[in-house]
Structure 1
Amino acid sequence: MKLDSNNHSVFLLHYHLVLVVKYRRSVIDDNISDYAKGKFVSLGKKYNISLVEWNHDEDHIHILFKA
């Protein structure tokens, strides 16, 4: 287990984010999920966020990330 650190602390934070489509409509397919995942990873590099796990269903996306 690798811990993150800064000048004053040592920490290990994982966040679980669930993005849900309005009215739970079935609109998310593999292409949309891959596009969103690419955007998340590219933005995450700028803010030092690393993706741990990514899963999706037709009406929601689960994201586990470390920041």
Structure 2
Amino acid sequence: MYEFNRNRHSVYSLNYHLVVVTKYRKKCISEEMLNRLKEIANNVFTSFKCELMEINGEEDHVHLLFKAPPQVQLSKLINNFKTVSSRY
């Protein structure tokens, strides 16, 4: 069954699947780095009022499954996540 969220003017269920790939698909993401990415993603997505449902990955890419309200600009959210995660 679907779960719907509400705000003052809308009812929504927006789920997104984001795949972030390393440059040239180099296999450089270790288990420690993936754990740190989980912490960073949780902080960034929480600050944008999004719910990070699942995060997983391999040596050359990371999958993020999240829910976001319609007010969130996805381009800014993804840009912020990529910027913050690459700097840490």
As a proportion of its length, which structure holds more helix?
Answer: 2
- Structure 1 residue 2: Cα displacement: 3.0
SS at match of 1:61: strand
User: What stretches of structure 2 of length at least 5 have no aligned partner?
Assistant: 69-88
Query: In the TM superposition, what whole-angstrom CA distance separates every residue of 1:12-54 from its partner, at most 9, and x where no partner exists?
Result: 0100000000111000111111111101101222111111111
Q: In structure 2, how many angstroms separate the alpha carbons of the residues matched to 1:53 and 1:45?
A: 13
Question: Which segments of structure 1 move beyond 3 Å, counting only runs of 4 or more?
Answer: none
The structure where strand makes up a greater share of residues is 1
Q: Quote the residue 2:59 is aligned against.
A: 58
TM-score normalised over the length of structure 2 = 0.71
1:30 counterpart residue number:
31
What is the total number of aligned residue pairs between the two structures?
Answer: 67
Secondary structure at the aligned position of 1:2 is classed as coil
The structure, 1 or 2, with the larger RCO (C-alpha pairs under 8 Å, 6+ apart) is 1
Normalised TM-score (structure 1): 0.91
The equivalent of 1:19 in structure 2 is 20
Q: CA RMSD in A?
A: 1.0
| Uncovered stretches (5+) of structure 1, i.e. residues with no partner | none
